[in-house]
Structure 1
């Protein structure tokens, strides 16, 4: 859709999937954390900051939101520096984002439980499936311990094993 809220929601979902950031990191982003020209965003967690890159789809959604959606959402709270404000112009809550995600999941016909972490997990799993280095994924996700990231490798391995098993029946 093209309403300010719909533009915001699309930009949030695209950015979440494109970067693998945590929902708390997403909803606490400030306008100054975005460098749209080089497609990078500075993400803040409790322990450290990290710079994440995002691609064309997130760039397109974010640009449209910043130009057409955000100005209307913050009109009542013009001093807000929150990148993704709620409809009152203030900071969105984690629960607010969960409701938003659940609503769009239902609208898309997804019958399984979908959470913000589902998008984070999909981001990492797709990187593994496409051959990304585990250390790089660890850095992108902000994991301090590689063993946390290693579970995504197992997801990729089971997929590879399933593909291999299917090909054995063909031969």
Structure 2
């Protein structure tokens, strides 16, 4: 194992031990560091500022968001090397700091959500009801009604949600625990689905090799969207999570409460949703502020 490969492994071990990094996060760091190591000829860990500048030059064709992520990965890696005594100086100041315009999240309208659930309701009224429809009902209730991430949903155990418990404590990104509300309607949908699977099953959404994959979940959602007349390119499990957040905020939810429900460690991540309802915020000031007689112009 080369020096770079060995040190990258030690760095990833540190991320798990000290930061509780998820497999997705580890995979992203590994990819960025191994690609940078390949460009540096296997000498990334000892690279100087000139080598780092050469690395940056190779990134010129990439999007700003990609360059920013790669730079962030390398900064953390070099910080680790210095802190652990594997090198004396940190060349991170030679890394680019591109400005990144944060893209607004895709979401769905209330009408589109209504179409998705109306199609499920029609399927549930059939005789007999297809098990796939019952499963879809449970999936949609949890994704849109509770804001689950795809990885959190597919890894739910069969015993995780009970009929008398209106919430669930789960571990999300970075192994951080958060409270997830589960509506009575969602609990009923889950209970109906649980009756369709073997009581010995460990997972709520099982497959032949364990639980269904995130890729399979994406396929299920996109197939359903197409049947409901929604462009499959505009929907995913994460878009349903965005819709959950967007519609809560439109309904008057507090931003801090939304941060807790989504499991965001930083409020700035949650603030991206505030773009959606500027008209409601203007109306709020017009109606609630002491100087409301001097109404703002929309």
Q: What is the DSSP-based 3-state SS (H/G/I as helix, E as strand, rest coil) of the residue aligned with 2:170?
A: strand
Q: C-alpha offsets along residues 43-83 of structure 1, whole Å, 9 cap, x if unaligned?
A: 2223222221122321221121122x223xx7xxx4x3111
State how far apart, in whole Å, the 1-side matches of 2:211 and 2:143 are.
17
State how far apart, in whole Å, the 1-side matches of 2:186 and 2:160 are.
15
**Is 1:128 matched with 2:249?**
yes
Aligned partner of 1:156 in structure 2 is 277
Contact in 2 for aligned 1:52/1:140 (Cα 8 Å): yes
Q: What is the DSSP-based 3-state SS (H/G/I as helix, E as strand, rest coil) of the residue aligned with 2:164?
A: helix
Contact in 2 for aligned 1:35/1:41 (Cα 8 Å): no
Give the alignment partner of residue 83 of structure 1, picking from 186, 204, 218. Answer: 204
**Aligned runs of 1:17-166 on 2, under 5 Å?**
17-45=144-172, 46-67=174-195, 69-71=196-198, 78=200, 80-86=201-207, 88=208, 90-111=210-231, 113-157=234-278
TM-score when normalising by structure 2: 0.48
Contact in 1 for aligned 2:144/2:240 (Cα 8 Å): yes
Contact in 2 for aligned 1:10/1:61 (Cα 8 Å): yes
Per the TM alignment, residue 134 of structure 1 is displaced from its structure 2 partner at its CA by 0.5
Aligned partner of 2:4 in structure 1 is none
Greater radius of gyration (CA): 2
Q: C-alpha offsets along residues 122-158 of structure 1, whole Å, 9 cap, x if unaligned?
A: 1001111111110100000000000000011221225
Structure 1 residues 160, 92: CA separation in 2 closer, same or farther (over 3 Å shift)?
A: same
**Is 1:6 matched with 2:133?**
yes
State how far apart, in whole Å, the 1-side matches of 2:279 and 2:269 are.
17
Q: What is the DSSP-based 3-state SS (H/G/I as helix, E as strand, rest coil) of the residue aligned with 1:33?
A: coil
Q: What is the DSSP-based 3-state SS (H/G/I as helix, E as strand, rest coil) of the residue aligned with 2:179?
A: strand
Structure 1 residues 97, 21: CA separation in 2 closer, same or farther (over 3 Å shift)?
A: same
State how far apart, in whole Å, the 2-side matches of 1:156 and 1:56 are.
28
State how far apart, in whole Å, the 1-side matches of 2:139 and 2:177 are.
19
Q: C-alpha offsets along residues 67-112 of structure 1, whole Å, 9 cap, x if unaligned?
A: 2x223xx7xxx4x3111113x3721111000000000000111025
Which 5+ residue runs of structure 1 have no aligned equivalent? none
Which of structure 1's runs of 4+ aligned residues deviate more than 4 A? 158-162
Cα-Cα RMSD: 2.3
Q: What is the DSSP-based 3-state SS (H/G/I as helix, E as strand, rest coil) of the residue aligned with 1:36?
A: coil
State how far apart, in whole Å, the 2-side matches of 1:7 and 1:44 are.
26
Higher relative contact order, structure no. (Cα contacts within 8 Å, ≥ 6 residues apart): 1
Q: Matched residue pairs, number?
A: 157
State how far apart, in whole Å, the 2-side matches of 1:43 and 1:157 are.
32
